[in-house]
Structure 1
Amino acid sequence: MFGRLGVGRYLSDDERHASMLEMLQSRPEGEGIWIFAYGSLIWNPALEFDLSYRGVLKNWKRAFCMKLTAGRATGDSHGRMLALVPGTGTEGIAYRLRENDLQYELVVLWKREMSTTSYIPKWEQVELYNGEVITALVFVMSQNDANFDCNYESENVAECIARAQGPLGTNADYLHRLNNALEENNVTDEYILQLAEKVAKMHACKEHLQ
């Protein structure tokens, strides 16, 4: 998620640090810090954690709704990045960070997720598959941000995801990794399944025509 995503504003180091401290100050009392992963954090958490569980985040859903012009896209080959928008709920993986590594891990996480104004960090309830309900940190799409695209339905974004590529690879590869990671963790998301199927068909048609 490094590099310019679209036309949203970059956060300065001071702004990013202040955002992190604000969330730390409002952390739930009596709980560890949990992170809810719904995208690349599932297959590449790059975090030190002591517990992980599958869980359901209520009131949010996955959407490829963030305009992308770098990383897995370019200014001439636009793509879409995954985020969360209001919905009926979504499954993912919750990680509990180790308390003694907390500050360092959150600095790394904020650099990864909060390079621009596109995401908003929130504390949200997650029901774990062991029956426990925890409060987790989750990064959702800012619908006031210039990077937000409200036309995120699979039929609207499949073509640009199928075509987009940049210095970090193809946009479709990200989708493929996400789809595989969800399957490996027994997580079902119909939107991702439909989108992956549409992109695969587009690639198959292109190869057939060649």
Structure 2
Amino acid sequence: MSLTRDSIRDGVLQRMIEESGCPIRLTTEAERHASILAMLGGRRTPPEDVWVFGYGSLIWNPAFHFAERRLGTLHGWHRRFCLWTPLGRGTPECPGLVLGLDRGGACRGVAFRVRAAEAWEELDIVWRREMVSDGYLPRWTRVRTDAGEVRAIAFTINREAARYAGKLSVPEAASVIARATGRLGTCAQYLLSTVEHLEDLGIPDRRLRALRDHVVAATEQSPAASAAGAE
């Protein structure tokens, strides 16, 4: 299964959690709308266009409409596999990992500009995807681009969340990613797609490259893992 604009808007992630029986508290519609309104200063239509910073799957599958995208650098945060996922890229018995922005360092990614008139509808799609539970915290950040600095919404890891994985080493994270698979596909494919698209954009990430090398080596040694990744 792949996430699309329509499937996200139709609540596929919420249903996935409800049907699984996993003890994950879903964000309610009222909470989601209140969170978006708070970020927009209490106005459904902001006075100017809104930027959203993508650092993982938003780069290669944004699923929301945007008017412009720019490469940019966010200081004070770094990209890391630090959020356990027992569903999308894993199972309750064999949870996977997905990316989050954790404190420290810097992160190169993509800033997407959403037109003010479309902000409410498009951000609702982003929130349905990123804020389905309590794994992330949306916050305003400053992203430096070649065309100047922009104020952008970034979804940073919630260190208070039960699913926060902390700072796993490359071998520890690779061991999880190499074997985990869920309804959205394998963790390995999530990693490989992210690395591939970052490199296509000219954004090297040494840590993710190291993870990729470990995961590729592990899957080559495990016929079962390789077969799961090919499905």
Is the pair's TM-score, using the shorter chain for normalization, greater than 0.5? yes
Q: Does the alignment pair 1:151 with 2:167? A: yes
CA contact (8 A) 1:8 1:147 kept: no
Q: Does the alignment pair 1:59 with 2:89? A: no
TM-score after normalising by structure 2: 0.83
Q: 1:41 aligns to what?
A: 58
1:82: how far off? 0.8
1:8: how far off? 4.5
CA contact (8 A) 1:58 1:126 kept: yes
Change (3 A) 1:66 1:165: same
1:77: how far off? 1.7
**What 5-or-longer segments of structure 2 have no aligned partner?**
4-12, 227-231
Q: Distance in 2 between matches of 1:148 and 1:99?
A: 33
Q: Does the alignment pair 1:191 with 2:207? A: yes
1:31: how far off? 4.7
Runs of 4 or more above 4 Å deviation: 5-8
CA contact (8 A) 2:138 2:154 kept: yes
How big is each residue's C-alpha offset from its partner over 1:127-152, in whole Å with a ceiling of 9 and x where there is no partner?
0023x011100000000110101133
Counterpart of 1:12 (choices 28, 34, 46) is 28
Q: 1:112 aligns to what?
A: 129
CA contact (8 A) 1:55 1:129 kept: yes
1:89: how far off? 0.4
TM-score after normalising by structure 1: 0.91
Q: 2:41 aligns to what?
A: 25
The one-letter code of the counterpart of 2:138 is P
Counterpart of 1:128 (choices 138, 142, 145) is 145
How big is each residue's C-alpha offset from its partner over 1:26-85, in whole Å with a ceiling of 9 and x where there is no partner?
79x975200000011101111211111100000000111111110121112211111110
**What 5-or-longer segments of structure 1 have no aligned partner?**
none
**CA RMSD of superposed structures (Å):** 2.2
